[in-house]
């Protein structure tokens, strides 16, 4: 049985490596380090199938360094210590430090990562970690500070074309099957920038066809691959990037972009309740008093979603998304609470003025709790000018009305009540 196509075509040198030219192209930073024969400990951060493991292997080959590999999924602290001990015994005075490659290093616990620190710091090993998650969140700071982080990108269309051409012209099994590629749209869409996925798809199609000639087109690829083509990781970096783009599109009053990012999440299988929660937050944080109905609609969206379920729930999410994106924007209340919290942290627990305190018992009344409080509803316009702050703060200004029709109206009402304060 032959090995998978992705393994058969795995590059053995930087000259054969496809993609990531910002790192390994002529004159690029990582290329220079590798060519010099000395590299620091490294963390490769990028989506699946972009060459993280392959680069680690190539670095080991070029440096002629012993290569040890661990997977964070099935390795513990004991395994790490055993590998470090072996690596130390393989280290010769003038040779390059042994390379310890850890796949999915973000899955290592804090104690597992701690066990690497001494060996990395003293140069017993050169660590190369691979992760699909943001290392600033997943890798402990002491280890991260001892490593150089390099970001790998999804494969561009040009990279996928080059890889496909290489498979068609260089792999003996593919060549023996007489494969013709007529269309690549579906092939590249299903690959979603993942080189390994592209080669696996090609492998699957070729292996499943026993004819003299195999013609690959969009229809054939779509029929053979009964899966969702959306590249989306609900628990990973893309999850946070897409929800960020979604909220920023709403904040930026672009309903078309907001609907696009919503569709990305819907197609990717995102939890509808997560989207609805973010819409509620956006309605208050970004729209606020400029259109108070936005919060009502966002809450109604959340409730309706629970009642009607999926897939119809996407329609409710879409309606709310467009409504929020096209609403006037204000973050005055968001800024007000943030300002007030800063003052609270600076001033601590200031005493509540006596006239504002509750007096449910006779003893409290004897101690002047609630004394001289003026009941607003006893006065014209249900308002009486009074001090509602701790004495040390007097009248602090936190809420600043913004330039929209709703808050202009509120501001005029406040000015009428408070005269010079607003």
Q: Can you give the pTM of this predicted structure?
A: 0.57
- What one-character-per-residue DSSP string does 175-240 give? HHTTEEE---HHHHHHHTT-HHHHHHHHHHHHHH--SS-EEE-HHHHHHH--S------TTSHHHH
CA distance 377 to 399: 24
Which residue, 68, 76, 148, 86, is CA-closest to 113?
A: 76
**pLDDT tens digits, residue range 124-181?**
888 899 988 888 878 888 888 888 899 998 888 888 988 888 888 888 888 788 788 8
Instruction: Let me know: does 167 contact 201? Beta carbons within 8 Å.
Output: no
Domains of the chain are 20-151 (3.40.50.300), 157-224 (1.10.8.60), 237-326 (1.20.272.10), 349-418 (no CATH)
**pLDDT tens digits, residue range 5-35?**
888 888 888 888 888 888 888 888 888 888 8
Strand ranges, E, within 50-147: 67-71, 99-103, 126-131
Q: Which helix (H) or strand (E) holds 415?
A: helix 405-418
What is the gyration radius of the CA atoms in the chain, in angstroms? 31
Which residue, 177, 175, 181, 176, is CA-closest to 198?
A: 181
Helical segments of 269-312, H only? 272-282, 293-308
What string of pLDDT tens digits covers the 422 residues of the chain? 567 888 888 888 888 888 888 888 888 888 888 888 888 899 998 888 888 989 998 888 888 888 888 877 777 778 888 888 887 776 655 567 888 898 888 888 888 888 888 888 888 888 899 988 888 878 888 888 888 899 998 888 888 988 888 888 888 888 788 788 888 888 888 887 888 888 888 888 887 776 677 888 888 887 777 654 444 445 555 667 788 889 999 999 898 999 999 998 888 778 888 899 999 999 999 999 999 999 999 999 999 988 888 888 899 999 999 999 999 899 988 888 888 888 888 888 888 888 878 888 888 788 888 888 888 888 888 888 888 788 878 777 888 888 888 888 888 888 888 887 77
């Amino acid at each position: 049985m032959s090995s998978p196509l992705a393994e058969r075509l795995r590059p053995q040198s930087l000259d054969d490596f496809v993609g990531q030219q910002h790192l390994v192209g002529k004159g690029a930073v990582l290329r220079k380090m590798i060519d010099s024969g000395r590299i620091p400990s490294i963390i490769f951060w990028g989506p699946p199938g972009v060459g993280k493991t392959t680069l680690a292997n190539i670095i080991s080959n070029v440096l002629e360094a012993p290569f040890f590999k661990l997977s964070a999924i099935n390795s513990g602290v004991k395994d790490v210590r055993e590998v470090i001990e072996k690596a130390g015994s393989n280290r010769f005075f003038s040779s390059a430090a042994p390379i310890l490659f850890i796949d999915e290093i973000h899955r290592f616990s804090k104690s597992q990562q701690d066990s690497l620190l001494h060996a990395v710091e003293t140069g017993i090993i050169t660590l190369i970690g691979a992760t699909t998650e943001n290392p600033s969140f997943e890798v402990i700071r002491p280890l991260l500070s001892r490593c150089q982080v390099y970001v790998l990108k999804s494969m561009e269309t040009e990279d996928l074309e080059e890889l496909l051409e290489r498979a068609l012209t260089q792999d003996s099994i593919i060549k023996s099957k007489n494969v013709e590629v007529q269309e690549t749209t579906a092939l590249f869409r299903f690959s979603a920038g993942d080189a390994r996925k592209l080669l696996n798809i090609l492998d699957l199609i070729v292996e499943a066809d026993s004819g003299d000639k195999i013609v690959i087109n969009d229809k054939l690829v779509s029929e053979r691959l009964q899966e969702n083509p959306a590249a989306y990781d609900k628990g990973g970096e893309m999850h946070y990037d897409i929800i960020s783009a979604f909220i920023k599109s709403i904040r930026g009053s672009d309903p078309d972009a907001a609907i696009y990012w919503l569709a990305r999440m819907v197609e990717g299988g995102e939890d509808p309740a997560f989207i609805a929660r973010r819409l509620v937050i956006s309605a208050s944080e970004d729209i606020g008093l400029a259109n108070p109905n936005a919060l009502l609609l966002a809450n109604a969206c959340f409730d309706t979603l629970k009642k009607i379920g999926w897939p119809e729930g996407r329609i409710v999410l879409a309606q709310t998304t467009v409504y929020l994106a096209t609403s006037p924007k204000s973050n005055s209340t968001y800024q007000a609470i943030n300002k007030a919290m800063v003052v609270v942290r600076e001033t601590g627990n200031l005493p509540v003025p006596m006239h504002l305190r509750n007096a449910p018992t006779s003893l409290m009344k004897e101690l002047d709790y609630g004394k001289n409080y003026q009941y607003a509803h006893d006065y014209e316009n249900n308002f009486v000018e009074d001090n509602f702050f701790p004495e040390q703060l007097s009248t602090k200004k936190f809420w600043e009305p913004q330039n929209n029709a709703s808050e202009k109206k509120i501001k005029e009402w406040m000015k009428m009540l408070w005269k010079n304060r607003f």
